[in-house]
Amino acid sequence: MVRMSHATTSVPSPIHATRPNQVAVGTIVWLSSELMFFAGLFAMYFTLRAQVPEIWAEQAPLLSVPFALGNTTILVLSSFTAQAGVFAAERYQRRRTGPLWNVKSWGMHEWFVLTFIMGSVFIAGQVYEYAVLVSEGVTISSSPYGSVFYLTTGFHGLHVLGGLIAMLFVLGRSFAAKKFGTHEATTTIVVSYYWHFVDVVWIALFAVIYLVQ
């Protein structure tokens, strides 16, 4: 008599996108070169500050630390929203599955749109700060302080704009794709690496420029 054995059936685990090592390594190498670029800007800032400290003592107090802190908070929080978008992309969730006010149901689209808005607010804040400083006589050609301030923050602002353009590319690619798969998830992850890098660089810039006056 043959006994029939009942095989236990296991529930398949949810599919998640994995972070591809080759893409991650390539992105990190590229960001390392960007880090060296900003290291050069920091070196220029400290060199000029050591040479003409009296100009720093005169013009650094013109900066509005509370305003810059608020703008910095917005950019830092955008890293969390970008990462939430990555988590959604890793489980292949393109868009929300519930009402808009239920953030737990949000997909990659909603989180990246919110991140884009927050990054745009940061850029608008920088433009406003530039306008205020120019009205007070601090321009890129007015003094060494003005030159290094606009160069360091300006190049960072250009990197933020690059990140915003990359987010638009991610969103456009996701909308155009018939199915949200590994390629779309990988693009989302790579852009998030860049966005986190931009945020970390700004935290260092904020500490050096606004707090160490």
- Domain of 198? 21-211
For 130-179, the pLDDT digits (tens) are 999 999 999 999 899 999 999 999 999 999 999 999 999 999 988 888 88
Give the model's pLDDT for residue 158.
95
When pLDDT is averaged across residues 44-73 and rounded to a whole number, the result is: 92
| Range in 60-69, 110-119, 177-186, 200-209 with the lowest mean pLDDT | 177-186
Q: Would 168 be classed as within a structural domain?
A: yes
| CATH number of the domain residue 47 falls in | 1.20.120.80
| Range in 101-105, 128-132, 159-163, 193-197 with the lowest mean pLDDT | 101-105
Those residues with Cβ within 8 angstroms of residue 97's Cβ, 6 or more apart along the chain or in another chain: 105, 107
State the Cα–Cα distance between residues 170 and 112, nearest whole angstrom: 9
Those residues with Cβ within 8 angstroms of residue 135's Cβ, 6 or more apart along the chain or in another chain: none
Q: Would 56 be classed as within a structural domain?
A: yes
User: In the structure encoding, which two tokens stand for residue 156, read together?
Assistant: 């960072």
Q: Would 16 be classed as within a structural domain?
A: no
Give the model's pLDDT for residue 33.
79
Q: Which residues of 4-15 are buried (b: 16+ CB within 10 A; e: fewer)?
A: eeeeeeeeeeee
> What's this model's pTM, rounded to 2 decimal places?
0.84
Q: Would 173 be classed as within a structural domain?
A: yes
When pLDDT is averaged across residues 186-206 and rounded to a whole number, the result is: 93
Domain count, the chain: 1
